[in-house]
Amino acid sequence: MKKIQLTFVFILFTYLGFSQSDFADLNNSRLNKQRQGMLVLGTWALGNMAVGAIRLGHTSGENKAFQQMQIGWGAVNLGIATLGYFSTLKVDPNGWDTFQSVQEHYKIQKILLFNAGLDVGYMLGGAYLMERGKREVKNAERLRGFGRSILIQGAFLLVFDLSLHSILSSDNQKLKPLLTQGSIGFAPNEVHLRLNLSK
């Protein structure tokens, strides 16, 4: 009887070990993709700041306001990209269990979709400022310059967030085999173990 129990425990832990290893691969792949996304965002931010700083001294009116806002948005995006990049380096997904792996997998996708909604709001806000700046109001040129910059930044961020979401969600189909490769059932005086080792 003890041999049967030991054999069962060995099979169970071997199965759980393979499962955790598979999830570790998926988690590490997702984190690498997130890091690449943050590098893209950081590059965009630095580009906006550099071009804005170069052109700022050679422009005036609406164009000067546009470059000022580009620098401002670039600084914010650079901060987000830096925090996002280094936060992926601090985690150790090899120790995550199944629940945490699935939770983290979908959490970033939800954040990106939420951000996409905010991006649409930015674009609408930029369009509103541009339209308001067409009227004879105080600081009309500034409104138009700020509005144009916010519209462009919102459009980029919308494409960025939806693209990164699409890249990350393409791995969703890899979760099903990992979650259904086996199951454990309990009944009075019985333990049922079903393994699917055809990977």
| 199 compared with 28, residue with greater pLDDT | 28
Quote the tokens at residue 104.
């983290």
Quote the tokens at residue 70.
């580009």
Length of the chain, in residues: 199
d(CA 31, CA 37): 10
Quickly state the pLDDT bin for 179 (edges 50, 70, 90): low
Which of 14-18, 19-23, 50-54 is predicted with the least confidence, judged by mean pLDDT? 14-18
Residue 101, class by beta-carbon neighbours within 10 Å (0-12 exposed, 13-18 middle, 19+ buried)?
buried
Q: For residue 185, give the H/E element and its range.
A: strand 182-187
Which of 13-17, 44-48, 128-132, 146-150 is predicted with the least confidence, judged by mean pLDDT? 13-17
- CA-derived radius of gyration, the chain: 25
What pTM value is reported for the model? 0.78
| 136 compared with 39, residue with greater pLDDT | 39
> Using an 8 Å Cβ cutoff, are 51 and 125 in contact?
no
What is the DSSP-derived secondary structure letter of residue 58? T
> Using an 8 Å Cβ cutoff, are 19 and 181 in contact?
yes
Q: For residue 184, give the H/E element and its range.
A: strand 182-187
Residue ranges of domains in the chain: 2-195
Beta carbons within 8 Å of 91's beta carbon, 6+ residues apart: 31
**What do you get for the CA distance between the two ends of the chain, in Å?**
31
| Rounded alpha-carbon distances, angstroms, from residue 56 to 31, 46, 62, 63, 78 | 37, 15, 11, 8, 19
Residue 163's closest CA among 41, 29, 10, 4?
41
Which of the listed ranges 35-44, 57-66, 131-140 does the model predict with the highest average pLDDT?
35-44
pLDDT of amino acid 47: 97
Percent of the chain with pLDDT over 90: 57
As a three-state string, the secondary structure of 85-127 is HHHHHHCCHHHCCHHHHHHHHHHHHHHHHHHHHHHHHHHHHHH
Which of 33-42, 47-56, 148-157, 167-176 is predicted with the least confidence, judged by mean pLDDT? 167-176
